[in-house]
Amino acid sequence: MLGRPLPSTRYRGRVRRNGSVTSASGLVPFAHLGWGYRGRDEFDARAAEFLADGLAQQQWVELVGDGSRDELEQRLCALPGGAEALEAGRAGVLPIDDAHVYDNSGVVDPKASVERRVAAIDEATGRGFSGVRGIFDATALVPTPEHREAFTELEHLLDQKMAVLPVSALCAYDLDQLGSHADELVCLHPFTDASNGQFRIFATGEGRLALCGELDLANRELFALVCTRLLPRLEGEVVIDIGGVPYVEHNALVLLDELAARRDAPVVLRNADTLVRHVTDLLRLDHLQVAPPT
Amino acid sequence: MTMRHEAIFYHGAGEYADAVGGRVTAALDAGQPVLVAVPEERADLLRDVIGERPGAVEYLDMDSVGRNPARIIPMVAEFIDHCAGRPSTGIGEPAWPDRSEAETAEVVRHEALVNTAFAGTTSDLLCPYDAAALQADALEAAARTHPVVNIEGQARESATFTDPAEVWSSTRHLPAAPPGAPTLEFDRGRLAAVRDLVVELAGEHLPAARARHLVIAANEVASNSVQHAGGTGTVRVWAEPDAVVCEIRDAGRLTDQLAGRRAPEPAHGRGLWLANQLCDLVQLHPDGAGTVVRMRVGFTPGS
């Protein structure tokens, strides 16, 4: 099945390629995909799809997960084409402990980790690959709210890089271990699995985000949690393109206004429906800026 | 000094200018801030009487701001808040002859709640009633909702003034929904379906922006049902000749008669307030063991 984005959302503006997908295939040349999986079979199916596209695109493909190099190599070799790619030096493995930089509690250091990942892109392109494609099982890195908060920034900073650099990632989170907490991280990707059904908030550049999907009571807590983790960690003006949001309840606007009030620099909504401005005016949400239609 | 809530019955433009204009002039002479919220043609009469007093009077077109009577109390509350304890005068004319029966019933409930909402203030709230044009029952209702009634320049205690809570509870114009109106039971996961149901019918009958007003209001009220009324509710929507109506019923018990009529506060209370701002009429009533909220948006504002 092709991983063609589902036509679930109409956009009022132009925004980085994104969508809900039913497989990890077809996201070429580069994409950032978040996936909540159940069981090894589902993970391997998506990993195989992502691997195949990467090899076809002449990208360096890396399986990153919990376990030793030997264990990860066995898992890579079990994927269709994995053993051949490993043998040919076109794919490799990386224990998750070596992929990022952590503090003593195992909480990721977002900025240092991003530097490490960017260096890996330079290294791979220096070896003649057209880019890097990582297949991450990050479940082991996000067991607690503290871990997930730091990982929120990491996902976002990496997503910023993926908007401009030759790098892709499939970020898989084990639903059997994380339950609904997986949503806190999956929603930070421009592409997500269609069964997720949540909003998506992803980077379109430094200080630039896009938000897609409906915001109402059903995901109010998740939206508040993600924004409360993410926005205070961003520096300077933050512009959020909400052209892909068919409906936004007023509570979400109030939350963004409260977060904007705590920042030194503005939070601006772009491509908002005219009624968003009407509601922020009615509620006198003076900290949140709504850019006029362009 | 305490709050004074007085109905002024007038016959014709001359009496209006004398009775209402005189009170405004007296308030201005006493240095009071004055708010005038009346239909625009009545405001013109008062401007002629008051003359040029730049910035002394705040005028609001009641036909617009008070189309939904539930919007009036927060508007007056904001004015009184700005007065910061100083005596002030507000002129509010929420009743006019071509109001629908449902609107007129809500005007009566609004007038009753004024007594509750501003009980602790030092404001004179004066409500002109067109005695020549309004039906007798509208004037009788005014006498039940105003402690003081002024007839032919004579202000006297109203003999029929009634406990505001009782007026609020007993005044009701909610004809049955048309049989066959699209209906949906909802819970937390079905709010999108509520919006879809409303937008489908409203989109057929209303301009896009007006339809969206009703969708927002329906979502807010349905969200309240999910959060505060047992997690479920029923939405029903139908078209009338000049409007689309959305009704939401739930099992919540309505205890705050001023719900949706206070300025929004950070922690709660924005949803119903927002519905009041976006709809031409919102009828909020206890109903059996639960609550019914009926919201109406016209083809044009005020229709």
B227 close to A (CB below 8 A): yes
B55: pLDDT confidence band, cut at 50, 70 and 90? Answer: confident
B289 versus B70: which is more confidently predicted? B70
Find the CB nearest A250 among B188, B266, B274: B274
pLDDT of res. B170: 94
**A217/B contact by beta carbon, under 8 A:** yes
Residue A117: which of A77, A75, A155, A76 has the closest Cα? A155
Three-state SS for B218?
helix
Pick from A214, A216, A254: which is nearest to B223 by CB? Answer: A216
Q: How far apart are CA B156 and CA B4, in angstroms?
A: 12
pLDDT attached to residue A4: 38
pLDDT digits (tens, 9 = 90+) for B62-81: 999 999 999 999 999 999 99
> Do B220 and A250 lie within an 8 Å CB cutoff?
yes
A283–B270 CB contact, under 8 Å: yes
Confidence class for position B300, pLDDT limits 50, 70, 90: confident
Cβ of A112 under 8 Å from any chain B Cβ?
no
| CB-defined contacts A:B, below 8 A | 43
- Interface contact A250, partner B, CB < 8 A: yes
Q: Buried b / exposed e across A14-43, counting CB within 10 Å, b at 16+?
A: ebbebbbbebbbebeebbbbbbbbeeeebb
Residues of chain A with pLDDT under 50: 1-10
ipTM above 0.95, yes or no: no
Q: What is the pLDDT of residues A187-226, one digit of tens each?
A: 999 999 998 889 999 999 889 999 999 999 999 999 999 9
| Contacts with B219 from chain A: Cβ below 8 Å | 216, 247, 249
Closest partner residue to B223 (CB to CB) among A214, A217, A283 is A217
Concatenated DSSP letters of B97-134: TT--HHHHHHHHHHHHHHHHHTTTS-EEEEEEEETTTS
CB contact under 8 A, A216 and B226: no
Residue A21 one-letter amino acid = V
Question: What pLDDT shows up at residue A223?
Answer: 98
Residues across chain B? 303
Confirm if A210 and A244 have CB atoms less than 8 A apart.
Answer: yes
